[in-house]
């Protein structure tokens, strides 16, 4: 074999492979071009899952007839001039290779007319062979037709998935752009059926219904924040609306759908301790930052980005999402099917107050208190003389803080009964205490936590892989008040335990932690600690079956009121159930019966 230059045709098919993997990639590139051209209306027509035809038309600024041949030439672009531009990209495209790539693996026609031109023009390319520019009448804008995709690369065709899958990918892709560009009118027709149509009225929540279902779209919480030049907006699900996998978290950076580990980690972090293990939120989050702070030239399909300051992005996303959650975490209301409920009274959001309506602010309570140990103002004692604010009628305050609760008593040595401004609260004493301890621990963790020495050090033997895990976390354990040292093979000597765990069997205390390490091989830095702490709190919290004196009940309620997320335990279970006056009245037939 001798070394030879590849014929142009093969070289461009190889290059095309990077950009054009499947019909959905063609749709993506053409739609991005339309958006870059300032289109307000983008129509996509697909036949046979994109193998027969993909047609995208727009009302954007168009291409002058004499530039058409350049548009289909590799590395020809109107979006980039200098190297500096490459690090400050404000358009979706910039590589100048999409049209050339698509045209090399299909029968390709582009028709375009800039609005100021009297006539339009058309250019055909077949398998990379460029024809002549023909003038013709056309509406302002651009129309690209891609027929018989991969007709000349049969190998590619074999890698396509079933038509239903390819169709779904196209649907999903266009839905994402419709979400990112709510002021653009999109329509998608597959084999003559309209599968997506947006109004372009700027209402993202409307588009959300196409992505999820209507009910989910309604219940999503709005996120909006601007911090350190990073704007985060969009929607995330309330904690009781979750998915079993990570597929429902969509992120966009400067209008571009991206896959990015930092963004996912930041979002999950915001839900930390609020979701059950193995559950994931739904999210559609748009992160916008100055173009020079993000490198989009990482991957040919532009689906990955590199942030200049990853940590700032992490912080901004995590805080924005956390704030939205704290403001809205609902207390589960007891659902009662009362025969007395009059249908016209029933509210579709019962039990789930429409979360995007302005949360009824309780006595002007700020709903987005900063994170980090500060108690929510909603729980501050009211100054002498000022009365407790009147209960907001009908609805629980949705603020992160709890209303003031008056202890009534304990039942089954497990639950506290309390009265609030709107009815009755049943509090799980164990879950509530777990939450209180957890927040205390987290607030103090900057310092080393108090520790209590054992009278006699105790040696604990672990399985080899468990021992490796503990070895790796010894410094963290020390900060949390565990004095543990290695003591021979797979054996450790426990000298002291956190004061909170004093009295617990040292080997049980250590084993509890190991189980946690095992569950999670690659926890984020900082999460190890939080997880250990949650574990410790579970162990240290009062148990069901312990009767509490009225002072203890009162103290627990006050402590819970002071928590930032009083409504769930660190593992995501509810700490309380609320029976509103409204529900009581219905149950007793006092309301709705007449």
Binding site for Mg ion (CB under 5 A): 33, 93, 98
CB of 69 or CB of 163, closer to Mg ion: 69
Q: Among 33-41, 121-129, 460-468, 566-574, which window interacts with ligand ADP (CB under 6 A)?
A: 33-41
Name the minimum Å distance from CB 334 to Mg ion.
Answer: 55
Closest CA to 562 of 437, 390, 428: 437
The nearest distance, CB 14 to ligand ADP, in angstroms, is 17
Residues 56-115 that bind ligand ADP (CB under 6 A): 58, 60-63, 71, 76-79, 93-100
Give the C-alpha separation, 483 to 452, whole Å. Answer: 9
When CB distances are held under 5 to 8 angstroms depending on the partner's kind, the choice from ligand ADP, Mg ion, none that residue 97 binds is ligand ADP
Residue 51 binds: one of ligand ADP, Mg ion, none (C-beta under 5 to 8 A by kind): none
Specify the stretch interacting with ligand ADP by CB under 6 A; choose among 28-36, 165-173, 179-187, 438-446.
Answer: 28-36
Say how far apart CA 530 and CA 181 lie, in whole Å.
38
Q: Which is nearer to ligand ADP, 37 or 534 (CB)?
A: 37
Is residue 317 within 8 A of residue 285, CB to CB? The reply is: yes
Distance CA 30, CA 143 (A): 9
Residue 33 binds ligand ADP (CB under 6 A): yes
Q: Which region, judged by CB under 6 A, interacts with ligand ADP, from 55-63, 167-175, 225-233, 566-574?
A: 55-63
**Of residues 79 and 445, the one with the C-beta less far from ligand ADP:** 79
Among 24, 26, 34, 405, indicate the residue that binds ligand ADP (CB under 6 A): 34
Paired residues of 17 in beta bridges: none
Q: How many CA atoms within 13 Å lie on the side-chain side of 575?
A: 29
Q: CB 463 → Mg ion: shortest distance, Å?
A: 55
Please identify, using beta-carbon distances, which residue of 115 and 550 lies nearer to ligand ADP: 115
Q: Which does 531 bind (CB under 5 to 8 A by kind): ligand ADP, Mg ion, none?
A: none
Q: Is the separation of the CB atoms in 500 and 441 below 8 Å?
A: yes
Largest separation between any pair of C-alpha atoms in the chain: 95
- Span interacting with ligand ADP, options 32-40, 170-178, 211-219, 458-466, rule CB under 6 A: 32-40
- Nearest by Cα to 533 from 476, 461, 463: 476
395: which 2 tokens?
A: 């609805």
Q: Which SS3 state, helix, strand or coil, does residue 546 take?
A: coil
- When CB distances are held under 5 to 8 angstroms depending on the partner's kind, the choice from Mg ion, ligand ADP, none that residue 37 binds is ligand ADP
- In degrees rounded to 5, what are phi and psi of residue 445? -75, -5
CB of 66 to Mg ion, least distance (A): 19
Q: Which is nearer to Mg ion, 98 or 207 (CB)?
A: 98
The Cα 178–Cα 284 span in angstroms is 12
Phi-psi region of 412 (alpha: psi -120 to 50; beta: other; left: phi over 0): left
Phi, psi dihedrals of residue 236, rounded to the nearest 5°:
-135, 160
In the chain, what is the straight-line distance between the N-terminal and C-terminal CA atoms, in Å? Answer: 94
Q: Which residues bind to ligand ADP, rule: CB under 6 A?
A: 29, 33-34, 37, 58, 60-63, 71, 76-79, 93-100, 142
């Amino acid at each position: 074999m001798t070394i030879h230059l590849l014929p142009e045709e093969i070289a461009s098919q190889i290059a095309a492979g990077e950009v054009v993997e499947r019909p959905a990639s063609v749709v993506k590139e053409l739609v991005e071009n339309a958006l870059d051209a300032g289109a307000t209306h983008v129509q996509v027509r697909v036949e046979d899952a994109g193998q027969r035809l993909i047609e995208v038309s727009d009302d954007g600024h168009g291409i002058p007839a004499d530039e058409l041949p350049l548009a289909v030439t590799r590395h020809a672009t109107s979006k980039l001039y200098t190297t500096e531009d490459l690090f400050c990209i404000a358009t979706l495209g910039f590589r100048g290779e999409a049209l050339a790539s698509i045209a090399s693996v299909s029968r390709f026609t582009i028709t375009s007319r800039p609005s100021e031109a009297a006539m339009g023009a058309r250019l055909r390319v077949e398998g990379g062979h460029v024809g002549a520019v023909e003038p013709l009448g056309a509406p302002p804008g651009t129309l690209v037709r891609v027929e018989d995709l991969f007709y000349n690369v049969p190998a590619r065709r074999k890698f396509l998935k079933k038509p239903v899958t390819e169709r779904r990918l196209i649907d999903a892709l266009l839905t994402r752009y419709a979400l990112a560009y709510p002021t653009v009118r999109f329509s998608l027709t597959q084999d003559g059926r309209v599968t997506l149509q947006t109004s372009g009225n700027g209402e993202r929540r409307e588009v959300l219904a196409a992505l999820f279902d209507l009910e989910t779209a309604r219940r999503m919480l709005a996120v909006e924040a601007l911090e350190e030049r990073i704007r985060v907006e969009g929607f995330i699900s309330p904690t009781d609306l979750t998915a079993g996998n990570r597929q429902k978290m969509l992120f966009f950076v400067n209008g571009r759908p991206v896959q990015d580990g930092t963004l996912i980690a930041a979002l999950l972090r915001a839900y930390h301790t609020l979701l059950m293990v193995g559950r994931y939120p739904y999210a559609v989050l748009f992160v916008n930052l100055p173009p020079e702070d993000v490198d989009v030239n990482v991957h040919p399909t532009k689906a990955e980005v590199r942030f200049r300051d990853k940590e700032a992005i992490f912080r901004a996303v995590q805080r924005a999402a956390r704030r939205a959650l704290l403001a809205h975490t609902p207390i589960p209301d007891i659902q009662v099917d009362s025969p007395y409920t009059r249908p016209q009274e029933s509210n579709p959001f019962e039990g789930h107050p429409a979360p995007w309506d302005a949360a009824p602010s309780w006595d002007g309570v700020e709903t987005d208190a900063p994170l980090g140990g500060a108690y929510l103002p909603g729980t501050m004692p009211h100054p002498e003389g000022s009365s407790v604010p009147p209960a907001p009628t009908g609805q629980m305050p949705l603020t992160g803080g709890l209303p003031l609760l008056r202890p009534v008593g304990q039942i089954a040595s497990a639950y506290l009964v309390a009265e609030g401004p709107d009815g009755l609260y049943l509090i799980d004493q164990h879950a509530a205490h777990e939450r209180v301890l957890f927040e205390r621990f987290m607030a103090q963790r900057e310092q080393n936590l108090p520790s209590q020495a054992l009278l006699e050090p105790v040696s604990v033997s672990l399985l080899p892989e468990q021992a490796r895990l503990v070895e790796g976390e010894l410094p963290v354990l020390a900060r949390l008040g565990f004095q543990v040292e290695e003591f021979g093979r797979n054996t450790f000597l426990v000298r002291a335990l956190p004061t909170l765990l004093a009295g617990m069997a040292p080997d049980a205390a250590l084993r509890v932690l190991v189980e946690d390490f095992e569950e999670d091989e690659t926890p984020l830095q900082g999460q190890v600690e939080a997880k250990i702490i949650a574990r410790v709190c579970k162990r240290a919290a009062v148990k069901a079956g312990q009767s509490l004196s009225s002072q203890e009940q009162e103290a627990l309620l006050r402590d819970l009121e002071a928590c930032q997320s009083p409504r769930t335990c660190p593992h995501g279970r509810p700490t309380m159930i609320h029976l509103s006056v409204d529900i009581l009245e219905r149950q007793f037939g006092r309301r709705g019966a007449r």
